[in-house]
C-alpha cells in the first residue's frame, strides 16, 4: 500500500488546479460563497486562491463579484505550450486599464507576426473626446511604429534585417523616417533606451510610446504602447514613460522588459 502525504503547499497547489479545471468547465460567473461551498473550503482560503488566479490573469471578476475563466484562455488556450501571447493578453489587460486611467491616453498591446508585421491584440481606450485608436486584429509594418521598433530592437540583427528587407519602406506621413539607415538608427536607439517613441511618423497627430515585453531569453513577446494625441504628448512624456515602466515591471515571470533604468538620462528621440 502506498501512502501519499499531502502537506499544505501541495494541497494548495492541488486546489488551484481544481479551481482552474472548474472554471474551464463553467460558462457562467460564480460567486465566492458558491465556490467555497462546492470545494468545502473556508471563504478566507477560497478568496486567497481566487486572488492568486486573478493576479495571474487566469480568471476575471465582474462588477457583481462573480468569478469566471478569462475568455482569452477559453478561446486560445493557456499558453503553456510555449506560446505566451494568450497568457500575456489576459494578464496585462487589467494593468492596461489602470495605465490608461493614470495617463489619460489609449494603451495598446501588440505582437509581432511571423511575417514581421505588428498586430494589435488588446487595447484600453482613453475616455477623452479626441483620442488615439487602432482596430483590434489590425496589422501594419513594423518599421514606422513605436511598437514595431521596440520589438525589432530585441531581435537578432539577422532577423531584423530579414523583416526590413521584406517590407516596402514607404513614407506614411511627411514625418516618416523610411530610408533603411534611418530606420535602423531609430531601432538601435530603441535598443539602447529600452523604449521607442514615434512622433507623427505612423499617423499624423499621433505619438506612439512603446516598450517591449520579453520572455526569459530576451525575445520579444509583445510591445506595450501608449498612443498619445500629439498636442498632449510633450507635457505627459516623462509621466507616461514612468507609468509604463512600472506597469511592465509588475508583470510576473516569465515576462520582463528591456527598459532603461533611468529614462531621464536616456538619449532623446531625434
Flag whether pLDDT at 91 surpasses 90. Answer: no
Spatial contact of 134 and 108, defined as CB atoms under 8 Å apart: yes
pLDDT in tens, 155-187: 999 999 999 999 999 999 999 999 999 999 999
For the chain, the structural domain boundaries read 8-69, 85-265
The pLDDT score that the predictor gives to residue 258 is 57
How far apart, in Å, are the Cα atoms of 166 and each of 36, 117, 219? 55, 10, 20
**Phi and psi angles of residue 124, each rounded to the nearest 5 degrees, phi first:** -125, 115
Spatial contact of 58 and 50, defined as CB atoms under 8 Å apart: no
Domain 8-69 and domain 85-265, same fold? Reply is: no
How far apart are the C-alpha atoms of 160 and 153, rounded to whole Å?
8
Q: Worst-scoring range by mean pLDDT, 70-79, 83-92, 124-133? A: 70-79
Flag whether pLDDT at 222 surpasses 80. Answer: yes
Flag whether pLDDT at 268 surpasses 60. Answer: no
For 4, which DSSP code?
P
pLDDT in tens, 99-118: 999 999 999 999 998 889 99
How far apart are the C-alpha atoms of 18 and 90, rounded to whole Å?
20
How far apart are the C-alpha atoms of 225 and 247, rounded to whole Å?
11
- The secondary structure element, H or E, covering residue 5 is none
Per-residue exposure over 222-248, b if at least 16 CB sit within 10 Å of its own CB, e if not? bbbbbbbbeebbeebbeebbebbbebb
Which CATH number among 1.10.1740.10, 1.20.1730.10, 3.40.1710.10, 3.30.450.40 corresponds to the domain 85-265?
Answer: 3.30.450.40
Residue 8 CB partners (closer than 8 Å, separation 6+): none
Q: State the average pLDDT over residues 232-248.
A: 95
pLDDT in tens, 41-64: 999 999 999 988 887 778 888 889
The residue count for the chain: 270
The pLDDT score that the predictor gives to residue 75 is 64
Flag whether pLDDT at 246 surpasses 60. Answer: yes
For 176, which DSSP code?
-
The pLDDT score that the predictor gives to residue 80 is 57
- The secondary structure element, H or E, covering residue 109 is strand 106-112
Joined together, the cell numbers standing for residue 202 give 505612423
Instruction: Determine the CATH number of domain 8-69.
Output: 1.10.10.10
Of 26 and 87, the one with more pLDDT: 26
Q: State the average pLDDT over residues 189-217.
A: 93
- Give the 3-state secondary structure of residue 145: coil
The pLDDT score that the predictor gives to residue 114 is 86
Q: Worst-scoring range by mean pLDDT, 103-112, 165-174, 225-234, 247-256? A: 247-256
pLDDT band, very low/low/confident/very high, at 3 (cuts 50, 70, 90)? very low
Amino acid at each position: 500500500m502506498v501512502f501519499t502525504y499531502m502537506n499544505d503547499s501541495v494541497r494548495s497547489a492541488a486546489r488551484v488546479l481544481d479551481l482552474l479545471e472548474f472554471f474551464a468547465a463553467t460558462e457562467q460567473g460564480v460567486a465566492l460563497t458558491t465556490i467555497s461551498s462546492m470545494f468545502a473550503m473556508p471563504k478566507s482560503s477560497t478568496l486567497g486562491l481566487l486572488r492568486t488566479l486573478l493576479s495571474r490573469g487566469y480568471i476575471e471578476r465582474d462588477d457583481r463579484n462573480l468569478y469566471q475563466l478569462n475568455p482569452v484562455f477559453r478561446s486560445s488556450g493557456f499558453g503553456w505550450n510555449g506560446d505566451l501571447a494568450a497568457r500575456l493578453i489576459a494578464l496585462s489587460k487589467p494593468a492596461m486599464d489602470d495605465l490608461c486611467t493614470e495617463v489619460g491616453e489609449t494603451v495598446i498591446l501588440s505582437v509581432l507576426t511571423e511575417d514581421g508585421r505588428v498586430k494589435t491584440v488588446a487595447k484600453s481606450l482613453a475616455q477623452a473626446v479626441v483620442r488615439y485608436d487602432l482596430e483590434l486584429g489590425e496589422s501594419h509594418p513594423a518599421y514606422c511604429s513605436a511598437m514595431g521598433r521596440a520589438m525589432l530592437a530585441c531581435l537578432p540583427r539577422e532577423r531584423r534585417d530579414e523583416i526590413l528587407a521584406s517590407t516596402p519602406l514607404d513614407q506614411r506621413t511627411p514625418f516618416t523616417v523610411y530610408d533603411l539607415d534611418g530606420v535602423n538608427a531609430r531601432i538601435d536607439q530603441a535598443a539602447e533606451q529600452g523604449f521607442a517613441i514615434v512622433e507623427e511618423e505612423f499617423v499624423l497627430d499621433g505619438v506612439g510610446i512603446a516598450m517591449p515585453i520579453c520572455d526569459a531569453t530576451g525575445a520579444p513577446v509583445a510591445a506595450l504602447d501608449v498612443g498619445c494625441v500629439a498636442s498632449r504628448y510633450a507635457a505627459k512624456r516623462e509621466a507616461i514613460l514612468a507609468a509604463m515602466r512600472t506597469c511592465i515591471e509588475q508583470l510576473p515571470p516569465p515576462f520582463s522588459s528591456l527598459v532603461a533604468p533611468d529614462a531621464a538620462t536616456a538619449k532623446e528621440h531625434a
